[in-house]
Amino acid sequence: MEYDNEENTWRRPSVPKAGRVRCEPIPRRSTTVAVVVLGLAVLSCLLGYCVLSETLPYETRTLRLVIIFFRHGARTPTTTYKSDPFKVYQWPEGLGGLTNLGKLQLYELGKKYRNYYANFIDGEYYEKDVYVRSSDKSRCLMSAYTFLAGLYPPSERQTWHPEIPWQPIPVHSLPRDLDNIVASTKACNVWKAMYDELIEETSSDAKYTELYDYLSKYTNQTMRNVRDVDFLYSTLLSQQEAGLKLPEWTKNVFPNKMRTPFMLSLALLSYNETLQRFQVGPLFSEMKENLEKSVSYQPEDHGPAPRSLFVYSGHDVNVVGVWRALGYGLLEPEYGASLVFELHEENAQNFFLKVFYRNNTKIEVPMELKLPFCDDPCPYSQFVQHIDKLIPKDWEAECQNIAH
C-alpha cells in the first residue's frame, strides 16, 4: 500500500496484486518458442484460467463450492507432567495458547488459499459468500482470524483505517458443551462409553507395555494407555518446538516410539463408523445441506446464490475424525493442516467432488485424495450416499442423552 498524501488515504499500488493469476514473461531462448508459448498462455488465460500459474493447478470454471477444515496453528503445551523440568515455565500465551508462529502459519495459509482460489473466491469479503465456524477454544478462534486476514485483505473500498490492512470478518462458534459440529465436545453418552472401552483396550495391549512402563518410570506418573502417551507426546513436541531442551530419557522414545500410540489415541475418538456418527455426523450433516443448496441452485430463478465458501477451524482430533470418516487410517495432522472439499459442476447438472489434503501451511499444492468409497471423479450422489451413512437422524436420541 502507498499513502496518497493528496487524498489522505492508503492506496494499493497499481501493479497487479501478488498471487493473482499471472502469466509470467517467458525467458527468451528462441523467439519462435517464446511466441508460441506466449500465444498458448494468452489463449489459456482467455479461456478463463492460466496454465502457467502455480496457484491454479487445474480447471476452476467448474468449481461451485469450497469447504476448508483446518487445524489451528502452533501452540504452547496444554499440560505438564510430574517430573517435567519445565513445569513452572511461564508461557507468555498461557497453556494451550496460539504462539506468534501459530498466528503466522494460519495467516500464510489464508494467503495460500487466496492465491489458489484467486479465480473463485471474490477478492472482497461479502457475508453472503462465506461462513466461518470455529471451535470455541481461543487458539482456534485466533487461528480463524489470522487465516481470514490472509484470505481477505481489504480491497481499497473495504479499507476502513489507513494503518490497518485488515477487516473484521465474523467467526461463529458454539460453546464447548454445545459444539457437536467442529470440536465435537458436546457430551454424548453412547459415544463416551464406547470411547472409554477402546482406551481401556489399549491399556492391556502387550505391544505398548514396555513403553508405558518406561514412561511411567521417567515421568513419575501413571502412563497406562494411549491417551496418556498422547498428552505427553503433545507436550514434549510443543516444548521442543519452543526450543526447550528435553530431558535425556526422552531420546529413547520421543518421537519415534511414541508416534504410533499417539496417532492411535487421536484415531480412537472416531475409530469406527459408530463413533464417527457421533463425532463427525453433525458436521457432515451441515456439509450435506450446503452441498445440496449449491447443487439445487438455479441461477435463472434469480434467487440469492448460496454461499460458496465454508471454513472450519478445529483441532487435530477433528481433522483426524473427518479423515477417518472418509475411510483413511492413522494421521498426525501438523499445525494448520487442512482438508478441502470442492464441489464441481461439469456440463450442466453433472456434479462431482474433489477432496484434498494440505499437510501444513508451507505446502504449495494440496494433495488430491482418492476416495476409497467413490469412483474417480467422485459423483455428488455417491459422495452424499457415503456421508449420509454417518449422519444420525437424531443425534441426541442416538447418544441416549437423558434430558434433565
Q: What residues are labeled active site?
A: 72, 316
x/- map, 146-175, ligand NAG, by CB under 6 A: ------------------------------
Residues 22-81 that bind ligand NAG (CB under 6 A): none
Is residue 107 a contact partner of residue 74, using CB atoms and an 8 Å limit? no
Which residue number, 131 or 271, has a Cβ lying nearer to ligand NAG? Answer: 271
Q: How far is the CB of 51 from ligand NAG (least distance, A)?
A: 24
Which residues in 226-245 are b (16+ Cβ under 10 Å) and which e?
bbbbbbbbbbbbbbebbeee
Q: Return the C-alpha torsion angle 309, 321, 183, 81, nearest 10.
A: -140
Judging by beta carbons within 10 Å of its beta carbon (0-12, 13-18, 19+), is residue 326 exposed, middle or buried? Answer: buried
Q: How far is the CB of 281 from ligand NAG (least distance, A)?
A: 13
Alpha-carbon gap, residue 318 to 326, rounded angstroms: 13
Residues 201-240 that bind ligand NAG (CB under 6 A): 220
Q: How far is the CB of 38 from ligand NAG (least distance, A)?
A: 33
Residues 258-317 that bind ligand NAG (CB under 6 A): 271-275
Strands of 306-358, DSSP E? 309-314, 338-346, 350-358
Which residue number, 197 or 375, has a Cβ lying nearer to ligand NAG? Answer: 197
* Part of the chain binding ligand NAG (CB under 6 A), chosen from 11-19, 143-151, 190-198, 383-391: 190-198
Q: How far is the CB of 220 from ligand NAG (least distance, A)?
A: 4
**Would you count residue 198 as binding ligand NAG (CB under 6 A)?**
yes
Q: How far is the CB of 83 from ligand NAG (least distance, A)?
A: 4
Shortest CA distance to 250 belongs to which of 387, 57, 85, 6?
85
Residues 356-395 that bind ligand NAG (CB under 6 A): 359
Judging by beta carbons within 10 Å of its beta carbon (0-12, 13-18, 19+), is residue 16 exposed, middle or buried? Answer: exposed
**Would you count residue 83 as binding ligand NAG (CB under 6 A)?**
yes
Which residue number, 64 or 386, has a Cβ lying nearer to ligand NAG? Answer: 386
Helix (H, G, I), strand (E, B) or coil at 356: strand
Is residue 313 a contact partner of residue 143, using CB atoms and an 8 Å limit? yes
Task: Give the C-alpha distances (Å, rounded to integers) separating 402 from 46, 114, 185, 310.
Answer: 60, 45, 17, 32
Alpha-carbon gap, residue 293 to 137, rounded angstroms: 29
How many binding residues for ligand NAG (CB under 6 A)? 13
Residues 329-358 that bind ligand NAG (CB under 6 A): 331
Alpha-carbon gap, residue 272 to 389, rounded angstroms: 12
Answer for which of 194, 242, 246, 365 binds ligand NAG (CB under 6 A) is 194
Q: How far is the CB of 201 from ligand NAG (least distance, A)?
A: 7
Binding site residues, ligand NAG, CB under 6 A: 82-83, 194, 197-198, 220, 271-275, 331, 359
